[in-house]
Structure 1
Amino acid sequence: MIIDAWGQHPTLRHGQDSIFDSLRRWTRREAPSEALPVAATVAAMDRGRVDKMLISAWVAPRNVMISNDEVAAFVAEAPDRLVGVGSVDISRPMEAVREIRRCVDTLGFKAIRVLPWLWEAPPTDRRFYPVYVACIEVGVPFCTQIGHTGPLMPSEVGRPIYLDQVALDFPELMIVGGHIGYPWTDEAIAVATKHENVYIDTSAYTVRRYPPQLLDYLRGHGASKLLFGTNYPMIEPAKALEGLDELGLDAGSRSAFLGGNAARIFGI
């Protein structure tokens, strides 16, 4: 089984938001003019032989780019292939806690994701802490972004070392840091190695762009700590996986990386 740990089925609000202008500039992609059908996302998964994709809501201070209810509707169109990931407004702590419970108990989501750069606040900011408590209480991982920020927003809040303090304060919390932590990949590996419940996903990077230290980690003692991800539709699964056979992974490490770790962590 191949599980994509970080994707999103975009709404037009998400696809057209000006915050992604810098990404469109260097990827040479135009903003979409019409909504993407769920069938197109499933077809992209088929091309990459991806069995399941976790698709996320995007809640930002100025714009709910993809709502939790929209994610639930997308999942309902392909329930055997898509898995919901919720998001919340951290500026409203009690509302956020209630929404996390609704996401898991009512909508059936398997994780909660909040992106520090959208809020210009590191994961140690006090507004995140009710989110962590709620995730522990309902038994789902907290997913976030680590590394530099492609959109023109501050990157400092994505330093992986912030998760060290979060994991110390909440050792029960499962944490998945997406986008490999570049250019602080060594820092991400150190935090994931130190803490039993901290993991890294490879979204936003193709196999051929994985840093050498990440590959060493994957081939060695980090085989149980890394999850495959794409950040679809930024990268399609087939493109993200090009060169996988060249990595020299043993069968156990390959299986764990592609889907086994995600299945365990997200309860899929």
Structure 2
Amino acid sequence: MPVVDAWMQHPTPRHLNHEMFASLRRWTGLTTLDAPLPVEVTLEALAEADVETGLSAAWYGPQGPLISNDEVAAFVARSGGRLRGVAGADLARPMEAVRELRRAVGELGFVALRIVPWLWQLPPTDRLYYPLYAACVDLGVPFCTQVGHTGPLRPSETGRPIPYIDQIALDFPELTVVCGHIGYPWTTEMIAVADKHPNVYIDTSAYTTRRYPAELVEYLRGRGRRKVLFGSNYPMITPARALEHLADLGLDDETTELFLSGNARRIFRL
């Protein structure tokens, strides 16, 4: 069954070698990059799990881009249609960030915006995000963000679904919000927020199927079947490893299709 990977990135050395990812490298066995990684390596990793489309994201932080939008556009151009771009933005320069988002969507064909709050140590309710939320609504693209504890060596507070995701969904009811990394240890909160707001979704990136919390599996099997998307967090976890025990979740065919690709195709307008 074809797959869409809603949270991945083709890394640069600036990204993968950063000191804040030391904990992830320790957990996953990843090594640092001595040179840029060929796009073909990422495409092979996607193909191993029948991933037809990977949503490859830029990374912007206070010290500048770890993966720039133009770098992502170059990866996408070399992917033969297998990658689609997800924009990043510099929160410290709000108007420049809005203009860059409009360029990424309008000129580069990107399908979403992703900001990682722990990278900025600013929760999603900070005023610096709000011009970008308005632009996302105007452009018709989702806002993707991280929820749950922070695996890298940064504080976790910004990943709380309540109050942060709940509040931005109240302030911007037209904004589609895709919350990556499940929300653990606040998974029940994340499910409650997704239930409450029609435009809030969950992606499973950074977790293998065996590590999904029981409450998320129950949600996915039932009322949440149109609310949960597959994501890997490649290269930290490959899609094949993330999906290795998918059959153990006990999903029916319709739910499996929605989880692996149908929800993402609808939400990101692929």
Q: TM-score category by the smaller chain?
A: over 0.9
Structure 2 gaps, min length 5: none
Q: Is the 8 A contact 2:182 2:203 kept in 1?
A: yes
Q: Is the 8 A contact 2:209 2:245 kept in 1?
A: yes
Structure 1 gaps, min length 5: none
SS in 1 for 2:134: helix
Counterpart of 1:211 in structure 2 is 213
Deviations for 1:205-253, whole angstroms, at most 9, x for unmatched residues? 0011100000000000000000000000011111110111121111111
SS in 1 for 2:233: coil
- In 1, distance between residues paired with 2:231 and 2:31? 23
Which amino acid letter does the alignment assign opposite residue 265 of structure 1?
I
Which amino acid letter does the alignment assign opposite residue 113 of structure 1?
R
**Aligned equivalent of 2:196, options 168, 175, 194:** 194
**Aligned equivalent of 1:253, options 255, 258, 264:** 255
Correspondence 1:204-243 to 2 at 5 A? 204-243=206-245
Counterpart of 1:64 in structure 2 is 65
Correspondence 1:29-40 to 2 at 5 A? 29-40=30-41
Counterpart of 1:156 in structure 2 is 157
Deviations for 1:73-114, whole angstroms, at most 9, x for unmatched residues? 000001421010001011111101101100100000000000
Deviations for 1:150-209, whole angstroms, at most 9, x for unmatched residues? 111110011011110100000000000000001100010000010000000000000111
What is the TM-score with the length of structure 1 in the denominator?
A: 0.98
More moved, 30-39 vs 198-207: 30-39
**Percent of aligned pairs with the same amino acid:** 62
- In 2, distance between residues paired with 1:155 and 1:27? 20
Query: Once superposed, what is the RMSD of the aligned Cα atoms?
Result: 0.8
- In 2, distance between residues paired with 1:247 and 1:144? 25
Counterpart of 1:2 in structure 2 is 3
Q: Is the 8 A contact 2:161 2:193 kept in 1?
A: yes
- In 2, distance between residues paired with 1:22 and 1:12? 16
Q: CA deviation at 1:28?
A: 3.1
Q: CA deviation at 1:24?
A: 1.5
- In 2, distance between residues paired with 1:157 and 1:78? 33
What is the TM-score with the length of structure 2 in the denominator?
A: 0.98
Deviating beyond 6 angstroms after TM superposition, the runs of 4 or more aligned structure 1 residues are: none
Q: CA deviation at 1:34?
A: 2.0
Which amino acid letter does the alignment assign opposite residue 89 of structure 1?
D
Q: CA deviation at 1:29?
A: 2.8
- In 1, distance between residues paired with 2:175 and 2:90? 19
Counterpart of 2:16 in structure 1 is 15
Which amino acid letter does the alignment assign opposite residue 74 of structure 1?
F
Counterpart of 1:96 in structure 2 is 97
The answer to whether the aligner puts 1:122 opposite 2:123 as a matched pair is: yes
- In 1, distance between residues paired with 2:194 and 2:130? 20
Query: How many positions carry a matched residue from both structures?
Result: 268
SS in 2 for 1:144: strand
- In 1, distance between residues paired with 2:195 and 2:72? 32
Counterpart of 1:80 in structure 2 is 81
Counterpart of 2:145 in structure 1 is 144
Counterpart of 1:44 in structure 2 is 45
- In 2, distance between residues paired with 1:29 and 1:247? 27
Which amino acid letter does the alignment assign opposite residue 126 of structure 1?
R
SS in 1 for 2:11: coil
- In 2, distance between residues paired with 1:253 and 1:27? 29
- In 2, distance between residues paired with 1:25 and 1:215? 27
Counterpart of 1:168 in structure 2 is 170
More moved, 222-231 vs 245-254: 245-254
